[in-house]
Chain A
Amino acid sequence: MSKARSAPLRTALIHLALIAYTIVALFPVFLTLVNSFKSRNAIFREPMALPTPSTFSLVGYETVLQQGDFLGYFQNSLIVTVASIALVLLFGAMAAFALSEYRFRGNTLLGLYLALGIMIPIRLGTVAILQGMVAAGLVNTLTSLILVYTAQGLPLAIFILSEFMRTVSDDLKNAGRIDGLSEYSIFFRLVLPLVRPAMATVAVFTMIPIWNDLWFPLILAPGESTKTVTLGAQMFIGQFVTNWNAVLSALSLAILPVMVLYVIFSRQLIRGITSGAVK
């Protein structure tokens, strides 16, 4: 720790830079939260002002809680997001391992094939996907959403994970093989723990578009019992009048669960590193 002693000024500058950027990042979020507690007129009269006793209003949150079963929507969003992340991570890591570990004919081509999905918006396939879900009897089920999001998340996951898996030491894996570990054990016991930081990163990247998606819930599962939070919030966006109080409240509430998930994953990221040091 000689550095820390030698450069207190540098540390101060680093903190200054980070604090400055943190303010840039959080200021709009702060505004969103502040305004979600104000009456409609106050939002536009003085968007910067903190809620005062005269402008403080929970009308947005009240509307959100009255209109529909938002708790249920949260639950749906969580189920869909967590299940999709789990499947993306498992299937994605397995495929990425196969691609980065083994040499076989068509490896790069298969890698490219599995990456195609990040090059075309999946939204374009909507009609065929919906028809498929109708045929499988999955319309208005959370399963349909989980399937679509798993497929949507896989390409990116495989792309990122295979890059990180290439950095895992061959010696380690070969030592495992000499010890008689099966390929499955090598993957699950040796490699997976080492790429945990990357897994956590992928989990976060996968989570965001799923949580915030409006389109597929609208098409595949618009029923009351399968509504997600984002779909629930869109009912406040009108043709001529948008209930900004309600939209801001609903979406501010919706940040909380993803924030929690993010903190869990990012802690995983650190822990993955420290346990990796034991190797």
Chain B
Amino acid sequence: MSDTEIADIEAVPIRRSTRWHIAVFLAPAFLVYTAVMILPLIETLRLSLFNTVEGQLAFVGLGNFKVLFSDPRLSADFWNALGNNVIFFIIHMLVQNPVGIAIAAMLSLPGLRFAAFYRSAIFVPTLLSFVIVGFIWKLILSPIWGIAPGLMDLVGLKSFFAPWLGKPDTALITVSLISVWQYVGIPMMLIYAALLNIPDEVLEAAECDGITGWSQFWKIKLPLILPSIGIVSVLTFVGNFNAFDLIYTVQGALAGPNGSTDILGTLLYRTFFGFQNQMGDRSMGATIAAVMFLIILAGVSLYLFVIQRRMRRYQF
């Protein structure tokens, strides 16, 4: 399979006749990725076109998709999860990424002391296992053991405390913010690497023109790191629409209360693998996975074909 595709790639040489090195560069990644990831996933996604009819697995075309969008319960679950997922994503875009960029901008200032310490410390949450994150945040926010209520009491805000994770109108925001807390390190790292990549000459030239501090960030650095912000945004999008583990460990597979924290990942998990006394439904699970895939693909394609192409890149 790989041979023919790569041969196809070779078909239109631009500068040299056979450019074998391209195939050599691509082959290892292509092979491992195709064999261990793509083929098994195709095997699974194929199931979205099949369903059990009278005890036999039969081809149903787009029947499962029709059921997903027309069945009152399934479609309600799906739209609820999609809506929550959008909110989840918006919170990340509004909180996680700006905070990440701000921290990276501060860290990259020349001559800042303890920068390495701050950078490592802020990244620690990202290294934690979900089990710990789930446990410790539930403990902190618990109305009974009282870390959050106690701390709020200290600053006289006790009356604002509520069992946030247990209330339908606050649970999703709370979980999103926990996720932001955990993942802020990722935009920070990427933007930090991009900021360090800006050559000193550029900044020195700016300083000569009297552009320093805030305006230097807005006028010089920000345009230069826009491609990286683009990547961060698309990675946030992909990560959020695939998110699962955190909600699962904090709110359980049912993503309560009353489904208010259910996102596509948890819905997919429950449907595909089943949960407790609910049996897994591979076909419907694969159908949801396929829809999720199309949503993410649409977002990534928008980025690859529209945004990335229009974005001006600077080579250093």
Contacts and interface: CB of A to CB of B under 8 A. Distances in A.
Do any CB atoms of chain A lie under 8 A from CB atoms of chain B in the complex?
Answer: yes
Given A47-B139, A91-B29, A262-B127, A125 B43 contact: yes
A25 B121 contact: yes
B74 interface: no
A31 B127 contact: no
Contact-size category for B = 35 or more
Contact-size category for A = 35 or more
B82 interface: no
Interface of A: 1-4, 7, 10-11, 14-15, 17-19, 21-22, 24-26, 28-29, 31-32, 35, 43-44, 46-48, 87, 90-92, 94-95, 97-99, 102-108, 110-112, 114-122, 124-129, 132, 147-148, 150-152, 154-156, 158-160, 163-164, 166-170, 182-184, 187, 197-198, 200-201, 204-205, 208, 211-212, 230, 233-234, 237, 244, 247-248, 251-252, 254-255, 258-259, 262-263, 266, 269-270, 273, 276-277
B45 A10 contact: no
Interface of B: 8-14, 19, 21-22, 24-26, 28-30, 32-33, 35-41, 43-45, 99, 102-103, 106-107, 109-114, 116-133, 135-137, 139-140, 145-147, 150, 181, 184, 186, 189-190, 192-193, 196-197, 199-200, 207, 212-213, 227-228, 231, 235, 238, 242, 244, 265, 268, 272, 285-286, 289, 292-293, 296-297, 300-301, 304-305, 313-316
A126 B41 CA distance: 8
A259 B123 CA distance: 9
Given A197-B197, A254-B129, A104 B106 contact: no
Nearest to A198: B193
A185 to B, nearest CB: 11
The 8 closest A-B pairs by CB, nearest first: A125-B40, A128-B40, A151-B36, A98-B25, A95-B29, A119-B296, A91-B29, A151-B37
B276 to A, nearest CB: 11
Contacts of A155: 33, 37
